[in-house]
């Protein structure tokens, strides 16, 4: 069992930067692939970024490549999402997710590949 708690969401201006954190409890974190998803009002939840449990591999949605960076610290049971050059269209609730029982190198990108989800943190980018 893994519990995930996101933090760091807030109101920022367009062009600004923001860092999100996701603290995990439970014994499987170091062997779980981690991901960030987001859901804007009236839209489906979408993949933003993911990292393998080894930490060696990452993947990003095209709309955040070059602007967002995902990282993890297994010693702290925490995954991070550093966001820069934020745009109003980045406004959404951001969710952290964990996927267990996956190969060490694999980065899941689809909702159903993740077993555990956090409650989300609101990011609002003003124009």
Tell me which DSSP letter residue 110 carries: S
pLDDT, mean of residues 68-82:
96
φ, ψ (nearest 5 deg) of residue 37: -125, 170
pLDDT digits (tens, 9 = 90+) for 24-45: 987 778 899 999 999 999 999 9
Indicate if the pLDDT at residue 126 is higher than 80.
Answer: yes
CB 12 within 8 A of CB 18: yes
Question: What span, in angstroms and rounded, lies between the C-alpha atoms of 107 and 50?
Answer: 6
Question: What span, in angstroms and rounded, lies between the C-alpha atoms of 12 and 28?
Answer: 33
């Amino acid at each position: 069992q893994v519990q995930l708690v996101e933090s760091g969401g807030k109101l920022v201006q367009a062009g600004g930067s923001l860092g999100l954190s996701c603290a995990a409890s439970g014994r499987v974190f170091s062997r779980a692939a981690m991901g960030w998803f987001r859901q804007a009002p009236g839209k489906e939840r979408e993949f933003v970024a993911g990292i393998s449990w080894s930490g060696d591999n990452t993947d990003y949605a095209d709309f955040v490549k070059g602007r967002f960076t995902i990282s993890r610290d297994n010693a702290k049971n925490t995954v991070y999402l550093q966001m820069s050059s934020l745009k109003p269209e980045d406004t959404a609730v951001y969710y952290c997710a964990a996927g267990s029982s996956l190969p060490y190198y694999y980065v899941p990108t689809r909702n159903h590949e993740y077993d555990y989800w956090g409650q989300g943190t609101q990011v609002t980018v003003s124009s």
